[in-house]
A and B are shown apart, each in its own frame.
Chain A
């Protein structure tokens, strides 16, 4: 149990007790035990419903065991989470996760992936920072060593800045707590955020808990269905492609082994492949390949060699004709004349190329199935024919599979599109939740701290009431817990009464301390509380009011303003209050003050606030730092500082006469808590 003192005394909760808040210690404050009991009852009801639905006792036990052993989400799991987005088109590329362009992702897939990756990486930065900060706090090990143990190469200072900057740049946080930006330079904002919030191990636990849930659901995202026939055709196509490449490989190898330059052939391969896949026949393809080889190797004398070969053929034909002509002079004379002409031409060409050049040419044409005119290269005859035929045949299979894919195109696209839309819809829900992780974690932490404060007040009140407190005091104590942010300690339900907060803060702004007194009078049941002359009240009521105001006036004022600034964080565009046990009533505009109302509020309550901040060790430090940096904090930013420190910032503590009784010592504050 925490130390609860009488209204006259200051009370401090020891760091050990504070630590026990979130732990399993049975020495935790009563309210925490009650909270856990409420959660246990809820869990009991869930398990009973499962039993009634037919689950066996063993199955229930297994589920409960699983629940306890679920591992916390850690920053290193961010990459695996990113892979689940983009409609199945994300892939690992070294240390990065990227969209796989080979899968022809749609714009929607790319958008979904990019959004998720952006949100997940931001959370990853905050989580890594928070994990190291929490481990450092717990073990005393240096952040640099912790990072090194985790295999993180970045410097701690960079990890810290990156993590805190993600928080500072979060739109929701900026909108919810605009005063943060009034605290001065970013380095100061970082320092403040770190001290007041980010180092809190509960903050890390909150993010991890939310991410574990999102990650579990990401693992069960629906898969995008594929058209069976299309998929089979794609497999056949891939096999055909492999066979074609293998055919090309063998061709290149054979040509290179004989010393031919295949560079031109390689340059033409894509174009020839395209023709093969379009169904161009073997002889044409063989011709194209041969030409590409001839263009590549040094065949500068090709024209002469080809002319020579052609002349040789003509010569052979003429000789045959001459032989057949027998002794027929007119014919023999003509053939002899032709032969002389051919011989002359051959003599003219002869010597324009070397024998090596000639053989080089004849060999390659023989390899492609041409005639071995030299009579030396019989073993090369048709050497490439088989490889080309294999390549062309594989191209045919490719073309056939392509035809199937085209024929199924519409059907497959329809099926896939339907599945993809559903998948992207599910992803979009998770992305929204990812974007809410950080602001929700911040909001929940602040609200839980508010809970702690109120609970401790209530426990303190219970003690006081045991010793007998006058009716007026009790009425005011009850009113403080019901008027603005109402807390039900049995159900742990909280309700923000926006309209009531707005009206009362405005009234207090206009009427100052007397306004506070009149609000208390209202709570005591006086219907004319706004205008009644306070000197004309019945004696009993005057006594009651004076006693209540003396005892609780300060606390009442503090509580009104604290609830106002807490509630103010839950507005349009700010924190999304979606968690259980919190309800908001009243209009969103209810908490907006006009500029002159802010001035009045500052005029009436600003000095109090200054005193308090100066009296707080952390607050004074913060104010001094701001002064050193020539930053003049305004009323709102001072309130932000006060509120965050009051609600359990790391370092010290604070609280004060607001409850008349309360001072919360935070974990890091061993033995140095201060009150004001």
Chain B
């Protein structure tokens, strides 16, 4: 399995994360009901096109730009990617 491709389980986990973030946003009053509907539509139509991990970051970046509540998720995945790269380089150096 290509490690760059998001498998269905990973996609489901990300869907859950995005939905839970929206719920928290509603609970904190950071999102209104109507905003949440717009967010949902945006995620459902955008995320179904995401096949690879690099596409995921691009998608999260746009999402975070439109709705602040998604900034932490974008930052988290961006950091993971950077860490992955650094780790890869370290591995190369040590091998």
Contact = CB atoms under 8 A, between A and B. Distances in A.
Contacts of B19: 47, 51, 56-58, 60-61
A57 B16 CA distance: 4
A80 to B, nearest CB: 25
Interface residues of A, number: 24
B33 A40 contact: yes
Contact of B24 (A37, A39, A44, A68): A44
A576 to B, nearest CB: 26
A45 B27 contact: yes
Contact of A69 (B36, B37, B43): B37
Please indicate which of the listed interface residues A48, A61, A68 has the most CB atoms of chain B within 10 Å of its own CB.
A61
A68 B12 contact: no
Highest count of chain A CB atoms <10 Å: which of B23, B31, B44? B23
A60 B33 contact: no
B26 interface: yes
Interface string A33-49: 00011111101110110
A95 interface: no
A41 B44 CA distance: 22
A321 interface: no
B80 to A, nearest CB: 19
Contact of B23 (A39, A48, A56): A48
B34 interface: yes
Interface string B1-41: 00000000000100111111011111111011110111111
A41 B43 contact: no
Interface in A28-78: 36-41, 43-45, 47-48, 51, 56-58, 60-62, 64-65, 67-69
For the residues of A in contact with B, the DSSP-based class is helix
Given A39-B33, A51-B19, A68-B38, A61 B44 contact: yes
Given A36-B32, A43-B36, A61 B15 contact: yes
B44 A65 contact: yes
Contacts of A533: none
Contacts of B31: 40
Contacts of A69: 37, 41
Contact of B17 (A37, A38, A39, A57): A57
Contacts of B29: 37-38, 40-41
Given A36-B33, A64-B36, A68-B40, A47 B12 contact: no
A36 B31 CA distance: 9
Contacts of A48: 23, 27
A577 B33 CA distance: 25
B17 to A, nearest CB: 7
Contacts of B17: 57
Interface in B42-92: 43-44
Best-surrounded residue of B24, B25, B37, B43 (most CB of chain A within 10 A): B37
A56 B37 contact: no
A275 B31 CA distance: 75
Nearest to A39: B33
Contacts of B40: 61-62, 64-65, 68
A24 interface: yes
A34 to B, nearest CB: 8
A41 B41 CA distance: 20
Nearest to A34: B29
Contacts of A40: 26-27, 29, 31-33, 36
A63 to B, nearest CB: 8
B12 A58 contact: yes
A408 B22 CA distance: 57
Contact of A61 (B18, B24, B33): B18
Nearest to A49: B23
Contacts of A47: 19, 22-23, 26
A65 B20 CA distance: 15
A654 to B, nearest CB: 31
B26 A44 contact: yes
Given A41-B29, A56-B12, A57-B15, A68 B41 contact: yes
Given A48-B27, A61-B19, A37 B36 contact: no
A62 B36 CA distance: 11
Contacts of B43: 61
A44 B12 CA distance: 20
Nearest to B31: A40
A20 to B, nearest CB: 14
Contact of B15 (A44, A56, A68): A56
Nearest to A58: B15
Contact of B37 (A41, A44, A65): A65
Interface of B: 12, 15-20, 22-29, 31-34, 36-41, 43-44
11 contacts: A37-B32, A39-B32, A43-B33, A47-B19, A57-B18, A58-B16, A60-B19, A60-B23, A68-B36, A68-B37, A68-B41
Given A60-B19, A61-B18, 4 more contacts: A43-B26, A61-B19, A61-B43, A69-B37
Q: Which 5 A-B pairs have the closest CB atoms?
A: A68-B37, A44-B26, A57-B19, A37-B29, A57-B16
